[in-house]
């Protein structure tokens, strides 16, 4: 079952980004200390009780300003198209103006569920202002204060009222589901067609298929696959096709339902920051990853794979474990190398390691390189067990998890990867105090 999508829309300076950050529980506009991953973005996931949904923030629409406004309006229209529910954010301290009515008209045409969120109502006197906004013509109107964290429980109850509980379902684990993700025009559809060895991909109406994503089942080497293609675009026109933020949203929807993500890069254009944005979502979702360098036929020195590999490793340090496949979807050169890699990383993503062998490896790692001491105390690791898969998760029982330094955690991860084939999958190390 697909996750519902909620979009925040409104004029500038009504507090959309503050509300967005409160709902997802963190400030996403801050750059994190992860090499190569920029966190300034407008998409996230919200978990509330037994519900989970995507949320999209959008730029403020100001009909009186031409600069960038057309692009913002198109991005907002895209968000509206993709959303199941729309939060129309208005400023509770101001009168309605031409921008509010212009947005109201867009939303009326959409036919979507709309909740008017009257922001900045942080005291009793201001709360009476809410009645002014029923004039917009929507039945659901709620007052909140994003800055003071007021009214969010009631808002979330209203958002999820029509959503299904536990709306994340597992599909048959025997079927390998892989998503073809990447920015526009890198050859995602061509890659799918080359894999199927057909001139045109067959569209299959499978339950759970998200809007604008095509699920294509096929068999290879006795195994069943479902390819989730995100290349189709419902709206025609270059302006839709060229907006990179749209491709991130489409990728997120495919990522959530996949086991393996194929991050497709255009060899002709090289690596850009947006490729890293998309890769970061696959990483955060804990999916196995294969980096696919497409259009390799356009590279003059086709034997220079070593140099290109080094470049990718530099740019994608945060997924250094991902295998790289060089191919041409157009000529089908090296296309045969891709599916075996998908199978391998899928199996590693589901890998289970015996507890006794796991403890032997960690004990040897500690013997070779003791944890650093901190204020006269040193980290002690008593026992390790694998506590999950998809991706593999390892729980280490220690004397004090406060003594775990990030560099030592990285060392332990590297030791696990050197001793076990975990290529293509992220792994999670969880430290737990012995007496917890």
Q: What is the pLDDT of residues 190-243, one digit of tens each?
A: 898 898 874 333 333 332 333 344 578 888 888 889 898 765 434 444 445 555
Q: How many CA atoms lie within 13 A of 256 on its CB side?
A: 22
pLDDT over 90 for what percent of the chain? 47
- We report the CATH number of the domain holding residue 412 as 3.30.300.20
- Greater pLDDT, 89 or 71: 89
- Is 166 among the domain residues? no
- Split at pLDDT 50, 70, 90, the class of 393 is very high
Q: 56-70, 75-89, 299-313: which has the minimum mean pLDDT?
A: 56-70
Rounded to 5 degrees, φ, ψ at 27 are -90, 110
Number of domains forming the structure of the chain = 3
Give the residues across from 56 on adjacent strands: 7, 43
Q: Are residues 99 and 44 in the same domain?
A: yes
pLDDT tens column, 3-18:
788 999 998 889 888 8
DSSP designation for 335: G
- We report the CATH number of the domain holding residue 210 as 3.40.50.300
Q: Are residues 117 and 131 in the same domain?
A: yes
* Contact residues for 163 (Cβ-Cβ < 8 A; gap 6+): 4, 51, 53
pLDDT of residue 71: 66
Res. 167: pLDDT tops 80? no
Q: Are residues 398 and 418 in the same domain?
A: yes
Give the residues across from 429 on adjacent strands: 394
294, two tokens: 């497409």
Residue among 431, 429, 421 nearest 288 (CA): 421
Model confidence, pTM: 0.69
Res. 45: pLDDT tops 50? yes
4, two tokens: 């519902």
What is the Cα–Cα distance from 216 to 226, expressed in whole angstroms?
Answer: 5
170, two tokens: 């597992």
Q: What is the dihedral of CA 280, 282, 288, 292, to 10 degrees?
A: -80
pLDDT tens column, 327-353:
999 999 999 999 999 999 999 999 999
- Is 329 among the domain residues? yes
- Split at pLDDT 50, 70, 90, the class of 33 is very low
- Greater pLDDT, 186 or 302: 186
Instruction: Determine the 3-state secondary structure of 153 from DSSP.
Output: helix
Rounded to 5 degrees, φ, ψ at 98 are -60, -35
Question: How far is C-alpha 167 from the chain's CA centre?
Answer: 17
Rounded to 5 degrees, φ, ψ at 57 are -95, 155
Which residues in 18-81 belong to E strands, given as ranges?
A: 43-48, 51-56
Residue pair 144/168 in contact by the 8 Å Cβ criterion: no
Range of the domain at 50: 5-160
Q: Are residues 329 and 406 in the same domain?
A: no
For 385-415, letters b (16+ CB in 10 Å) and e give ebeeebbbbbbbbbeeeebbeeebeebbbeb
Q: Are residues 66 and 137 in the same domain?
A: yes
Average model confidence (pLDDT) for the chain?
83
- Is 170 among the domain residues? no
Angle (deg, nearest 10), helices 69-82 and 244-255: 20
Q: 64-68, 80-84, 188-192, 401-405: which has the minimum mean pLDDT?
A: 64-68
Cα dihedral across residues 66, 68, 69, 71: positive or negative: positive
What is the Cα–Cα distance from 183 to 246, expressed in whole angstroms?
Answer: 9
């Amino acid at each position: 079952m697909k996750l519902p999508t909620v979009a925040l829309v409104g004029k500038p300076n009504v507090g959309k980004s503050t509300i967005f950050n409160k709902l997802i529980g963190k400030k996403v506009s801050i750059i994190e200390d992860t090499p190569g991953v920029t966190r300034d973005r407008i998409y996230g996931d919200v978990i509330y009780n037994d519900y989970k949904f995507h949320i999209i923030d959008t730029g403020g629409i100001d009909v009186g300003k031409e600069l960038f406004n057309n692009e913002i309006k198109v991005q907002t229209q895209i968000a509206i198209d993709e959303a199941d529910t729309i939060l129309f954010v208005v400023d509770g301290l101001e009168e309605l103006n031409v921008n509010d009515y212009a947005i109201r008209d867009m939303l009326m045409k959409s036919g979507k569920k709309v909740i008017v969120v009257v922001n900045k109502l942080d005291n009793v006197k201001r709360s009476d202002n809410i009645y002014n906004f029923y004039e917009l013509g929507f039945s659901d109107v709620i007052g909140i204060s994003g800055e003071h964290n007021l009214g969010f429980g009631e808002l979330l109850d209203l958002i999820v009222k029509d959503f299904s509980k536990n709306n994340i379902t597992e599909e048959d684990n025997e079927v390998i589901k892989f998503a073809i993700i990447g920015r526009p025009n890198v050859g995602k559809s061509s890659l799918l067609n080359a894999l199927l060895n057909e001139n045109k991909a067959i569209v299959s109406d499978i339950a759970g298929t998200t809007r604008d994503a095509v699920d294509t089942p096929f068999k290879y080497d006795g195994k069943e696959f479902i390819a989730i293609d995100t290349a189709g675009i419902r709206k025609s026109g270059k302006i839709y096709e060229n907006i990179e933020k749209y491709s991130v949203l489409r990728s997120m929807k495919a990522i959530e339902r996949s086991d393996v993500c194929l991050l497709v890069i255009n060899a002709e254009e090289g690596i850009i920051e947006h490729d890293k944005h998309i890769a970061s979502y696959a990483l955060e979702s804990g999916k196995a990853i294969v980096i696919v360098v497409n259009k390799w036929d356009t590279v003059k020195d086709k034997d220079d794979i070593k140099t290109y590999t080094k470049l990718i490793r530099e740019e994608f340090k945060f997924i250094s474990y991902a295998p790289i496949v060089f191919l041409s979807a157009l000529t089908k050169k090296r296309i045969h190398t891709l599916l075996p890699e998908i199978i391998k990383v899928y199996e590693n993503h589901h890998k289970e390691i015996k507890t006794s062998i796991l403890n032997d490896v960690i004990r040897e790692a500690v013997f070779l390189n003791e944890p650093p001491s901190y204020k006269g105390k040193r980290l002690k690791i008593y026992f390790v067990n694998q506590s999950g898969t998809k991706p593999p998760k390892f729980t280490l029982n220690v004397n004090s998890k406060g003594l775990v330094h990030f560099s030592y955690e990285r060392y332990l991860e590297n030791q696990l990867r050197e001793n076990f084939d975990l290529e293509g999958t992220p792994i999670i190390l969880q430290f737990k105090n012995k007496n917890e």
